[in-house]
Structure 1
Amino acid sequence: MRLRTVLLGLLTTALVTTGSTTAAAEPPSVLGGSGPYSAGYETTFRLPDHTIYRPETLPAGVKLPIVAWGNGACRADGTWFENILTEWASHGFLVIANGRPGGFGSTDSDMLIESIDWAIAENSRFGSKYRGRIDTTKVAVMGQSCGGIETYEVADDPQITTTVLWNSGLLSDSQNYLLQRLHAPIAYFIGGPSDIAYPNAMDDWQRLPAGLPAFMGNLDVGHFGTFDQPNGGEFGRVGGHWLKWRLKGDQASRAQFVGPNCGLCATEWDVMSKNLT
């Protein structure tokens, strides 16, 4: 709890201020994303206290992998990171954020598992518009800052296919046991040395279990990243590639991260990797 309290203080101003902040029964009329499917968000009484980002029209013959998201500051506002979450949804992912649209208060890591469990149930529920439309074998859990700590807390769940931390790292050595529970390929997207989470993330990097596939990308944009930019800016683009590789097997996206000539290797990103194939 101390870790969450500290990180709540790190993000006290909004990172994302565009778009609707009111609850919606269906995706909002203003849709977005650069992917092939115009995307928006909705809410449902079956998953209270969450915001669901999805393609406006569920694509025929395409199953949506699951992405569970924890907000910075563990803030219960499901539209705080609307730009980047809409972007990923537009590439054919079902992205579920902790918190209702424009919500307030705090979240916890259990809410990430609630998102996954809801999506799996909806895929088989009679009468669900998602029935047979979700790839329940492909699950990403990710979060920013305090949301990254929430991600660590559930990363041992066997349902998880990949774990992603944004501007985040453990704040206390007493929590290092969480690293040893990691089992799925992990990626860190950090804001460079000016990011307050930078030393913590780099320390975690050194402590990862041997053999765990891992990627570390630093972009010198600080702790607030590029989340407030259209489509989440560079973080949105690179995060989309990671999701498309790890959850959809996209080989062009894989090439962004793997090998000495990777797509990010000769860019403004400072990258490292372990056990990536």
Structure 2
Amino acid sequence: MRASRLPRRLLVAVAALTVAVFTGAGFAPAPSAAATGSGPYPARYETDATLRNHTIYRPADLTTAPRLPIVVWGNGACRADGTWFENFLSEIASRGYLVVANGLPGGSGQTQASWLTQSIDWAIRENSRLGSKYRGKLDTTKIAVMGQSCGGLEAIEVSGDRRITTTVVWNSGLFGTGAKLGLRNLTRPVAYINGGPSDIAYANAVDDFGKLPAATPAFFGALNGAGHFGTYGQPNGGEFAIVGTAWLDWQLKGSQTAAAQFVGAACGLCRDADWEVRQRNLR
């Protein structure tokens, strides 16, 4: 079952956020050369002729890596540059994930939410296609959709797709303070991660969190002082990559050690003075 399109007002909000980011004072710092991540499976990125307009991050040596859960990513400003978040995405891939980002390496132009669904379709096909280097190497039952800023809105838009296990909304949230019909897509575990009150999307995320479907398991984490640009451009993606990987390790790999960072009054991030934490239905 595919997600239905969100109301037009959300699509207008995507465009507005794109303008806001591009007219701001820069974005994520340029990634370091040949980022490979710090995990046990040094990563690389590449393109594939069968998947237009995307960049694929994966462990360089697939023979030593375990079966890889799938992560699809939408860029800030809905920008079609698949290496804009290279440090961050390489770090996640190095921890044993296949990450597919919207946009070609160094690309330009604008993405669409449907590109995230295309990434999922492609990964599932490759896992079963004869001759594919990914044949039998992907865990197609464990899929995360994530995005930053405008890309976070894209992630929300496609989250009604029943193949998706979890959604992570980075530095983002729907516009407005009234009813937010787009949040109906978020019925499976969701995390909102942002840069605290100095993040232009902080208030949107706070409002979203309070309006999620009543039964949705949800986490809200704000790294105070990180702002809208977060830590993505730091070596290995900085603290956002650490927290993001922990969420994925819990949701897609079942790690209870990772779960302890998010669950309960004494969770790891709850005890970190740099983080503002809210929780709903987590166990």
TM (norm. structure 1) is: 0.94
Correspondence 1:36 to 2:46:
no
**Does structure 2 retain, via aligned residues, the 8 Å contact 1:167–1:191?**
yes
What is aligned with 1:252? 257
**Is 1:46 matched with 2:59?**
no
Kept after mapping to 2: 8 A contact 1:71/1:147: yes
Deviation at 1:32, TM superposition (A): 1.4
Give 1:178 shift: 1.0
Match in the other structure for 2:123? 119
Q: 2:74 aligns with which of 70, 78, 87?
A: 70
Deviations 1:250-271 (A, max 9, x none): 1111111111111111111111
Q: 1:83 aligned to 75, 80, 87, which one?
A: 87
Greater than 3 Å deviation, 4+ residue runs: 172-175
Aligned equivalents of 1:204 and 1:271: distance in 2?
14
Aligned counterpart for 1:7 among listed residues 17, 21, 26: 17
Does 1:271 find its partner at 2:282?
no
Work out the number of aligned pairs and report it. 268
Identity percentage of aligned residues? 58
- RMSD of aligned C-alpha atoms? 1.3
Deviation at 1:7?
Answer: 1.2
Q: Which amino acid aligns with 2:97?
A: F
**Aligned position for 1:27:** none
The whole-number CA distance in structure 1 between the counterparts of 2:202 and 2:182 is 18
In structure 2, the residue matched to 1:25 is none
Shift of 1:183: 1.8
Q: Take 1:147 and 1:175, find their aligned partners in 2: how far apart are those partners? A: 21
8 Å CA contact retained: 1:14, 1:80: no
C-alpha distance in 2 between matches for 1:57 and 1:19:
21
Contact 2:155/2:167 (CA < 8 Å) preserved in 1? yes
1:215 maps onto 2:186 in alignment:
no
Matched with 2:202 is 198
Residues 217, 271 of structure 1: 8 Å contact kept? yes
Distance in 2 (alpha carbons) for counterparts of 1:251 and 1:149: 29
CA offsets 1:84-112 (integer angstroms, 9 cap, x no match): 00000000000000000000000010000
Please tell me the residue identity of whatever aligns with 2:176: S
1:236 maps to which of 234, 238, 241: 241
Q: Distance in 2 between matches of 1:109 and 1:16?
A: 24
Matches within 5 A, 1:143-158: 143-158=147-162
Question: Using the alignment, how far apart are the partners of 1:232 and 1:255 within structure 2?
Answer: 21
210-219 or 166-175: bigger deviation = 166-175
- Residue identity matched to 1:17: A
Q: 1:227·1:236 contact (CA, 8 Å) conserved in 2? A: yes
1:175 offset after TM fit, Å? 7.2
TM-score, structure 2 length as denominator? 0.92
